[in-house]
Amino acid sequence: MRVDLNADLGEGYGPWRMGDDAALLDLLTSANVACGGHAGDADTMVETLELARARGVVVGAHPGYADPAGFGRRVIPMTARGIERMVATQIGTLMGAAALAGVRVSYVKAHGALANLAADEVDVAQAVARAVAAVSRDLGLLAISGTALEPAGRGCGLRVFSEVFADRAYLPNGRLVPRSQPGAVIEDADAAVARLIGFVQTGRMPVLDGLPIALAADSICVHGDSPHAVAMARAVRQGLIGAGVTLAPFIG
Is 14 among the domain residues?
A: yes
**pLDDT score for 1:** 85
Is 252 among the domain residues?
A: no
Is 156 among the domain residues?
A: yes
**pLDDT score for 180:** 84
Is 9 among the domain residues?
A: yes
**pLDDT score for 116:** 94
> Total domain count for the chain?
1
Q: Please give the residue range of the domain that contains residue 83.
A: 2-247
**pLDDT score for 76:** 97
* Neighbour count for residue 50 (Cβ, 10 Å): 16
For residue 7, the surrounding DSSP H or E stretch is: strand 2-9
pTM of the model: 0.95
CA-to-CA dists, residue 208 to 117, 182, 223, angstroms: 21, 11, 20
**pLDDT score for 127:** 98
Q: Which residues of the chain have pLDDT under 70?
A: none
pLDDT tens by residue, 213-248: 999 999 999 987 777 899 999 999 999 999 999 999
CATH number of the domain that residue 49 is part of: 3.20.20.370
pLDDT tens by residue, 150-170: 999 999 999 999 999 999 999
Nearest to 183 by CA among 206, 199, 200, 203: 206
**pLDDT score for 17:** 84
Q: Which amino acid is at 140?
A: G
